């Protein structure tokens, strides 16, 4: 563990650890995160109370686990919050993801460091060796991450698309032998296996120096992830390209409650054997047309791309996306005890054998 992690609880700070967040705790969580966004990103709109409540009370992703911490001052006011996602996929059981906010009026008081100490302790108990979190480049989170021993592993460019000005003519270029299908929410049963196979193509996406591991998708995992999105109160839209009974690619957009003018881009994937035919551009253009027709209040779509994903950056530029912010994934590597490390290695080897993975 980095020596900069706080060894003891700062005076008058009380940390509460919970596995499920109450409505009252979610309201306090909202106040902290909204204050942080207003201070750090004054041009942004903070998440709505409904979005925060939905995100906190939704189920964890398939096979995963979530933990939450709230830090309170002597008057009982929540001044910092942290959530930890312990990934559950067989190829990611070394990994956890952190989201943390400290109220701007209570920074530099040891709140973030103590929350991180609690998070790291929970990771060690689960035998996790890598912790990732995303921060705004040149923002206070980046300085905090470096001070706590994190290192930058994946720079990201965030982009916005004006849906009214997007160039959607690419949606008319469906290659011979392909057809487009659309759905809302959970994938239709007849397409579940095909979508799972296409999602497995994400394992070759650029991840920089991040120790991201791999995910294995099957039909049930696809359905479970859609339930997670629905539990948050979000609406999941999908456009897919079919080549016979196989899915050649797909793109996903999410509409969040209380956010009528902006949608969030999720996955856009083209499976390897169907690349080089413009399917990524076709799918995203078709999605813009769908959003325009079915959700006319949406005027912007937000996405982010790894800086080394030059192909998708080019696709987004041709469609009309413009860069507006940079963030970076930072990673903290933990030194596990020898017994923990050996147990984890044995577990990972067993997982590889279970999936039929060979070196």
Q: What's the structural domain count of the chain?
A: 2
Instruction: Round to whole Å and give the CA distance between 90 and 348.
Output: 7
Q: Do both 61 and 97 map to the same domain?
A: yes
Is 183 found in the same domain as 315? yes
Do 88 and 173 have their domain in common?
no
Where the chain has pLDDT below 50, the residues are: 1-7, 339-340, 352-359
Tell me: do 298 and 341 sit in the same domain.
Answer: no
Asked whether residue 112 falls in the same domain as residue 210, the answer is no
The pLDDT value recorded for residue 337 is 66
What pLDDT is stored for residue 61 in this prediction?
A: 86
Q: What is the pLDDT of residue 9?
A: 54
Please tell me whether residues 346 and 309 are part of one structural domain: no
* Amino acid 2: pLDDT: 40
Predicted local distance difference test score (pLDDT) of residue 123: 95
What sign results for the dihedral spanned by CA atoms 240, 241, 242, 247?
Answer: negative
d(CA 16, CA 253): 35
Q: What is the pLDDT of residues 334-354, one digit of tens each?
A: 987 654 455 555 555 555 444
CA distance 103 to 202: 36
The pLDDT value given to residue 343: 53
Q: Is residue 202 part of a domain?
A: yes
Q: 312 and 167, same structural domain?
A: yes
Q: What is the CATH number of the domain that holds 340?
A: 3.40.630.30
Domain shared by 122 and 194, yes or no: no
282 falls within a domain: yes
Which pLDDT does position 59 carry in this prediction? Answer: 84
The range of the structural domain enclosing residue 32 comes to 14-129+334-355
Residues 222-264 have pLDDT tens digits of 999 999 999 999 999 999 999 999 999 999 999 998 889 999 9
User: Is the residue at 270 inside a domain?
Assistant: yes
């Amino acid at each position: 563990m980095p020596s900069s992690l706080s060894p003891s609880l700062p005076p008058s700070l009380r940390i509460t650890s919970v596995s499920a967040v109450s409505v009252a705790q979610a309201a306090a969580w909202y106040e902290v995160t909204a204050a942080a966004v207003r201070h750090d990103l004054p041009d942004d709109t903070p998440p709505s109370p409904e979005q925060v409540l939905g995100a906190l009370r939704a189920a964890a992703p398939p096979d995963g686990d979530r933990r939450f911490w709230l830090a309170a001052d002597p008057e009982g006011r929540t001044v910092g919050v942290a959530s930890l996602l312990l990934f559950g996929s067989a190829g990611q059981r070394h990994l956890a993801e952190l989201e943390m906010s400290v109220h701007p009026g209570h920074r530099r008081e040891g709140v973030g460091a103590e929350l991180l100490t609690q998070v790291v302790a929970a990771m060690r108990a689960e035998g996790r060796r890598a912790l990732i979190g995303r921060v705004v480049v040149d923002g206070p989170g980046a300085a905090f991450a470096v001070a706590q021993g994190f290192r930058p592993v994946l720079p990201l460019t965030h982009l916005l698309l004006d849906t009214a000005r997007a160039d959607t003519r690419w949606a008319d270029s469906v290659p011979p032998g392909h057809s487009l299908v659309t759905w809302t929410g959970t994938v239709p049963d007849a397409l579940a296996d095909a979508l799972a196979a296409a999602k497995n193509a994400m394992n070759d996406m650029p991840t920089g120096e991040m120790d991201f591991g791999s995910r294995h998708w099957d039909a049930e995992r696809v359905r479970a992830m859609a339930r997670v999105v629905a539990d948050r109160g979000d609406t999941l839209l999908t456009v897919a390209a079919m080549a016979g009974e196989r899915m050649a690619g797909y793109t996903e957009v999410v509409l969040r409650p209380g956010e009528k003018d902006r949608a969030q881009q999720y996955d856009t994937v083209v499976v390897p054997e169907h690349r080089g035919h413009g399917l990524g551009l076709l799918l995203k253009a078709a999605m813009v047309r769908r959003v325009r027709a079915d959700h006319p209040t949406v005027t912007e779509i937000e996405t982010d791309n790894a800086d080394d994903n030059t192909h998708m950056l080019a696709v987004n530029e041709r469609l009309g996306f413009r860069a507006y912010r940079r963030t970076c994934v930072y990673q903290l590597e933990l030194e596990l005890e020898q017994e923990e490390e050996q147990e984890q290695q044995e577990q990972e080897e067993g997982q590889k054998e279970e999936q039929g993975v060979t070196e």
